[in-house]
Amino acid sequence: MYNKDILWLYEQVPIGTPVMIVWNETDLNSGFVDNKPVNVYLNNEAVTLESELKTFSKQGKPYIPLKLLCQLLGYNLGWNNQTNTISINQNGFNAGLTPNGKRAALNGQEIYLTDPPLVLNGTTYVTKSTIEEIFPVHVTWQPAGRELYLSFRTPPVNAEPKPAETKSQDFLSSQKQDQIQTGIQ
């Protein structure tokens, strides 16, 4: 902790108030949150948020509750008290996150997150970058309108499979035609 942080804290807290100082790399002046709601859209449809699931932005980045994101995308969300980790899974997909930690596990592979999950008042929040690093989702943030657009990069795991395209069949048919015309079987 730097002297300027101690001076900032001194101005914020009345004398005699018990204070626990925990070291981290957060600049206290840049830690303020803009509580104006962020509007969330999934596949261009507005998402209605439950009253306890608030959205906000901090340092120009949108934050949405991980619980909301998992509900929207159809993933199971869990908490492991022994390891203090968050688990996310769905049909063979597994991810493990640590609140306020940049390390994560994604299907057994360790990855590093651009922005660690943030815990405020018992709720875990994630940013645009974390969403894209963990989930098969494309995310667009439009700060002027405070709009966060989510769309699947690939069909979700539980989506109905689409019929296979016939390009390969068409290619094989044309290849067979060529062989017949040239006399090759």
**What's the pLDDT at 60?**
87
SS3 at position 66: helix
For residue 69, the model assigns a pLDDT of: 94
Residue 21: per-residue pLDDT: 65
State which amino acid sits at residue 69.
L
User: What pLDDT, on a 0 to 100 scale, did the predictor assign at position 2?
Assistant: 54
Give residue 29's pLDDT: 45
- Nearest CA-CA partner of 89 in 65, 111, 64, 108: 108
Amino acid 59: pLDDT: 85
User: Which pLDDT score is estimated for 173?
Assistant: 40
Which residues, 6 or more positions from 66, have their beta carbon under 8 angstroms from its beta carbon?
77, 86, 88, 97, 117, 124, 125, 126
Domain assignments of the chain as residue spans, ordered by start = 3-159
Between β-strands 56-58 and 45-46, what pairing exists: parallel, antiparallel or unpaired? unpaired
Torsion of the alpha carbons at 118, 124, 125 and 131, rounded to the nearest 10: 100
Q: Which fold has domain 3-159?
A: Copper Amine Oxidase; Chain A, domain 1 (3.30.457)
For 72, counting Cβ atoms within 10 Å of its Cβ (0-12 exposed, 13-18 middle, 19+ buried), the class is: middle
Q: What are phi and psi of 155, to 5 degrees?
A: -60, 145
Closest listed residue to residue 53, CA positions, set 41, 30, 37, 42: 37
Q: Centre a 10 Å sphere on the Cβ of residue 94 and count the other Cβ atoms it contains.
A: 13
Q: Point out the residues of the chain with pLDDT beneath 50.
A: 1, 28-30, 156, 159-185
What is the pLDDT, as a whole number, of residue 16?
Answer: 77
